[in-house]
Amino acid sequence: ELKVEQNPLFLSMQEGKNYTIYCNYSTTSDRLYWYRQDPGKSLESLFVLLSNGAVKQEGRLMASLDTKARLSTLHITAAVHDLSATYFCAASPHNNNDMRFGAGTRLTVKP
């Protein structure tokens, strides 16, 4: 069964700093997703990564995928307060169309 692990689970950053969130998954996966969730809200799709070496960027966030290492990263550049949220990665089991989520990384960006 596909397991997804994220680390760190909690992250407190200063504004302007850079950091990386890591997402490991246990078995072959066809797709890797990153979502953002604000308190009391639903999930907002950030990135979908489909192939080895895929890199996508949106503003201060950049996601990458290494299928050989079964690892995805979400890199935060020059963090700002508005990025404070919980970030989830999710992977789709091979030949399956649903998602398995990690436990989430709760990010707090402090002035």
Partner 1 sequence: GAGVSQTPSNKVTEKGKYVELRCDPISGHTALYWYRQSLGQGPEFLIYFQGTGAADDSGLPNDRFFAVRPEGSVSTLKIQRTERGDSAVYLCASSLTSGYGYTFGSGTRLTVV
- List strand residue ranges (DSSP E) for 1-111, in order: 4-7, 10-14, 19-25, 29-37, 43-49, 55-58, 61-66, 71-76, 85-93, 100-101, 105-110
Among 43, 54, 62, 80, binds partner 1 (CB under 8 A): 43
Residue span binding partner 1 (CB under 8 A) among the ranges 15-23, 61-69, 77-85, 97-105: 97-105
Query: Tokens 């890591």 — which residue?
Result: 22
Q: Does 94 bind partner 1 (CB under 8 A)?
A: no
In the complex, the smallest distance separating the C-beta of residue 24 from partner 1, rounded to whole angstroms, is 14
Q: Does 21 bind partner 1 (CB under 8 A)?
A: no
In the complex, the smallest distance separating the C-beta of residue 104 from partner 1, rounded to whole angstroms, is 5
3-state class (DSSP) for residue 82: helix
Displacement of CA 96 from its chain's centroid (Å): 20
Distance, CA of 81 to CA of 58 (rounded, Å): 16
Rank residues 55 and 103 by Cβ distance to partner 1 and give the closer one.
103
Q: Does 97 bind partner 1 (CB under 8 A)?
A: yes
Binding footprint of partner 1 on the chain (CB under 8 A): 4, 30-31, 33, 41-45, 48, 88, 90, 92, 96-104
